[in-house]
Amino acid sequence: MTVTEVPPFRRDVLFVTLDSCRYDTFAAARAPNLKSLGPVHRAYSPSHFTYGAHAAFFMGFTPGDPARAEPYVNPKYAKIFRMGGGGHAGAARAYVDLEGRSIVDGFRRLGHAALGTGAVGWFDPATATGRVLAADFGQFHYGAAGGLREQRAWLLAAVAAARAAAQPVFAFLNLAETHVPYYHEGAPWDPARNPCVPFARDNDAAEARRRQIACVEWIDAELAPLLAAFAEAAIVVCADHGDCWGEDGLWEHGIHHRATLEVPLVFRLP
């Protein structure tokens, strides 16, 4: 190998998105497993709804803080995942450079098993819109019905099969527990009562916050086996967008507002 050659990227990668999770609730939650990955950064998402944010993520535009001249914390300075031909090259080198239609396709081209599971409707492969985000994965599981535990079981099994074949893994996990109505399996509240509904008159910001924090804490405990399976891997955890809880009279997401764009970002990049 000459000094100009770069060895292919073979490390496993886990990318987790907590759908609709606000920065302030993640920061307030007791989440020792996720927070052990690194500092919790107050970042800004490229979009205010699931499809727009993930379409950007899959092109390498992860959430970031534009005021900080730091690699990966500010993707303008240096991206975690950078697509060839994908905009500004940055002031520093990307964590991994990829070629193809998306980062998912890019990892497949590097020889990774591209495994994905999403839980919100934008990932439903039974719909034409859902198939767009799921298209580049080698294997994809839509986990709306079973929730995190079913998604975790599917993903761990798929990862084990890939590793048995000596194949590196790019694994993606989108979780819906932090999405309205903020509910996790076994939670002691009725998911039929949604405390955050656009244009409703009986919304409850305090209840929305309480529920979302509880969901983050439940997710953190339930993700422990998956994080252990990726103990030597690169891991990126963020939200795709937040929710408005009455700020400026606004509720939920799909609208431009600081509360819908401000999200947590945590990563460990060996």
| Residue-by-residue DSSP string for 162-220 | HHHTT--EEEEEEE-TTSTT---TT-SS-TTS-S--TT-SS--HHHHHHHHHHHHHHHH
At 185 the pLDDT is: 97
Question: How many CB atoms within 10 Å of residue 46?
Answer: 19
What are the pLDDT digits (tens) for 94-116? 999 999 999 999 999 999 999 99
Using CB atoms within 10 Å of the CB of residue 2, give its burial: 0 to 12 exposed, 13 to 18 middle, 19+ buried: exposed
The DSSP output letter for 159 is: H
List all residues 6 or more positions away from 173 whose beta carbon is below 8 Å from its beta carbon.
14, 15, 16, 17, 116, 117, 151, 152, 155, 226
In tens, the pLDDT along 167-212 reads: 999 999 999 999 999 999 999 999 999 999 999 999 999 999 999 9
d(CA 12, CA 169): 5
Nearest to 170 by CA among 109, 244, 88, 253: 109
Residue 133 CA to its chain's centroid (Å): 13
- Tell whether the model's pLDDT for residue 247 goes beyond 70: yes
**Domains present along the chain, CATH in parentheses:** 17-42+104-268 (3.40.720.10)
pLDDT(13) > 50: yes
pLDDT at 8: 77
11, pLDDT greater than 90: yes
Distance, CA of 26 to CA of 121 (rounded, Å): 23
Mean pLDDT across the stretch 21-26? 98
Q: How confident is the model at residue 86 (pLDDT cuts 50, 70, 90)?
A: low
Contact criterion met (CB below 8 Å) for 13 and 250: no
From the list 49, 78, 43, the residue with the least C-alpha distance to 64 is 43
| pLDDT at residue 3, as a whole number | 45
Residue-level pLDDT at 144: 87
User: Is the pLDDT score of 34 beyond 60?
Assistant: yes
Length of the chain: 270
Task: Report d(CA 260, CA 252) in Å as an integer.
Answer: 8
User: CA 189 to CA 6: how far, in whole Å?
Assistant: 53
Question: Distance between terminal CA atoms of the chain?
Answer: 23
Cβ-contact 184, 212 below 8 angstroms: no
CA distance 212 to 208: 6
Those residues whose C-beta lies under 8 Å from the C-beta of residue 165, and which sit 6 or more positions away, are 113
**How does residue 84 score in pLDDT terms, banded at 50, 70 and 90?**
very high
pLDDT at 145: 79
Whole-prediction pTM: 0.96
pLDDT at 88: 79
pLDDT at 85: 82
The percent of residues in the chain predicted with pLDDT above 70, rounded, is: 97
How many angstroms separate the CA atoms of 267 and 98, rounded?
19
Mean pLDDT, residues 125-137: 94
- Alpha-carbon torsion 164, 168, 128, 142, what sign? positive
